[in-house]
């Protein structure tokens, strides 16, 4: 899981994780797939209500997928966009995006707004 501040979001997304190849795919649940995008259902937890996450969808362009599954880079970029959209309407001390990887609900990214 990536933990960062909102100011670090673009910088973190631009750097590569030495532990994982950016084009490595993850076995995630896909709710919709066509020739342009793959849609991955996720949960967005916020500091005010961490036990009551909201259902959201990450829309990942096919260019950031391999064989019908999103790459790490695709998941992180889509999660970052979801965080930005949510923060445009509401402010929270932190937000966390979670998705099912290999059948297990796994945090992808936590962003602290302070």
22 has a pLDDT exceeding 60 = no
Over residues 94-98, the mean pLDDT reads 91
Residue 91 has a pLDDT of 83
Domain boundaries, the chain: 2-112
Percent of the chain predicted with pLDDT > 70: 82
Q: Which of 45-54, 78-87, 101-110 has the lowest mean pLDDT?
A: 45-54
With contact defined as beta carbons under 8 Å apart, do 107 and 1 qualify?
yes
With contact defined as beta carbons under 8 Å apart, do 77 and 97 qualify?
no
pTM: 0.81
Percent of the chain predicted with pLDDT > 90: 37
42 pLDDT band, cuts 50/70/90, is: very high
- The secondary structure of the chain, three-state, reads CEEEEHHHHHHHHHCCCCCCCCCCECCECCCEECCCEEEEEEEEEECCCCCCCEEEEEEEEHHHEECCEEEHHHHHHHHHHHHHHHHHHCCCCEEEEEEEECCEEEEEEEEECC
6 pLDDT band, cuts 50/70/90, is: low
- What are the C-alpha distances in Å from 99 to residues 12, 27, 35, 55? 19, 10, 22, 10
């Amino acid at each position: 899981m990536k933990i960062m501040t909102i100011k670090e979001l673009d910088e973190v997304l631009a750097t590569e994780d030495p532990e994982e190849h950016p084009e490595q795919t993850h076995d995630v649940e896909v709710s919709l797939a066509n020739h342009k995008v793959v849609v991955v259902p996720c949960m967005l937890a916020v500091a005010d209500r961490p036990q009551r996450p909201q259902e959201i969808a990450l829309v990942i362009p096919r260019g950031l997928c391999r064989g019908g599954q999103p790459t790490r880079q695709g998941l992180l970029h889509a999660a970052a966009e979801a965080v930005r959209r949510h923060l445009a309407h509401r402010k929270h001390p932190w937000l966390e995006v979670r998705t099912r990887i290999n059948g297990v609900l796994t945090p992808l990214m936590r962003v602290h707004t302070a």
